[in-house]
Amino acid sequence: MLAGGKMGDMKITRHIHACVEISQGNDRIIIDPGTFGAPDLCGATILVTHNHADHVDPELLKPGMTIYAPRSVAHSIPVECHIVEHGRNFTVGSLSVEVLGSEHAMLTHSMPIAENVGYLINGRVLHPGDTFQPIKDVELALVPVNGPWVKMLDVEGYLKKFPPKRFIGIHDGIVNDRGLAINKKFLTHLGETYGSEYSPLEEGESLEI
């Protein structure tokens, strides 16, 4: 699916699980290429939100790639990268990137809270990593919908308190086809309830904004 736009629009492509590609003209960003699978990274700038295998696969990262990641990731991958933290903003060609937050959502009370950052691209597209970034009225939010730390009530709470104009569900790589169908039903309902347009992109599908 490709929602048409005009020259200079941003194109957002869903890949597997939490991996998303954002491009504008010749500038390409790929966020969270993890071990569940990733597209061809050649020529793209890589952004990593945190140091979990489903968000970063060290074997995919090669010398010469431009990579931005929090400190905990930088210490665990075999190549150099630019270390980011909340408020450390940068640009990738025509794409501006704002770095947000510092902590992963809680997994269990017995496990330490991991480092996690989100990325806001051109002030329009939000990838939060594994948390819900408290930004209201963002144009397009990539919303985690499944995982050990998130349930549909959490998604509802986020959409109710910080409704984006439009959202795509991500972080669903551990769900089978039956679960994905249930997700679509609930996310459609929640979008309609809280006034946020739900775009049910599947792996490999794109839209432009």
The tokens of 118 are what?
Answer: 């989100």
Q: C-alpha distances in angstroms, 43 versus 5, 65, 192?
A: 24, 8, 38
- Classified as helix, coil or strand, 36 is coil
The residue extents of the domains of the chain are 11-208
> Would you state the pLDDT for residue 3?
38
Tens place of pLDDT for every residue, the chain, 209 residues?
Answer: 333 334 459 999 999 999 999 999 999 999 999 999 999 999 999 999 999 999 999 999 999 999 999 999 998 999 999 999 999 999 999 999 999 999 988 988 898 888 999 999 999 999 999 999 999 899 999 999 999 999 999 999 999 999 999 999 999 999 999 999 999 999 999 999 999 999 999 999 999 99
The tokens of 117 are what?
Answer: 């950052």
Q: Which residues on adjacent β-strands are paired with residue 31?
A: 20, 47
Residue ranges of the alpha helices (H) in the chain?
A: 71-74, 152-161, 177-194
pTM of the predicted model as reported, rounded to 2 decimal places: 0.93
Domain covering 11-208 in this structure, CATH number: 3.60.15.10
> Would you state the pLDDT for residue 113?
86
Q: Distance between CA 101 and CA 117 in Å, rounded?
A: 5
> Would you state the pLDDT for residue 1?
35
Q: Distance between CA 20 and CA 39 in Å, rounded?
A: 9
Q: Distance between CA 70 and CA 40 in Å, rounded?
A: 22
> Would you state the pLDDT for residue 81?
96
What does the DSSP 8-state code read for residue 79? S
> Would you state the pLDDT for residue 112?
86
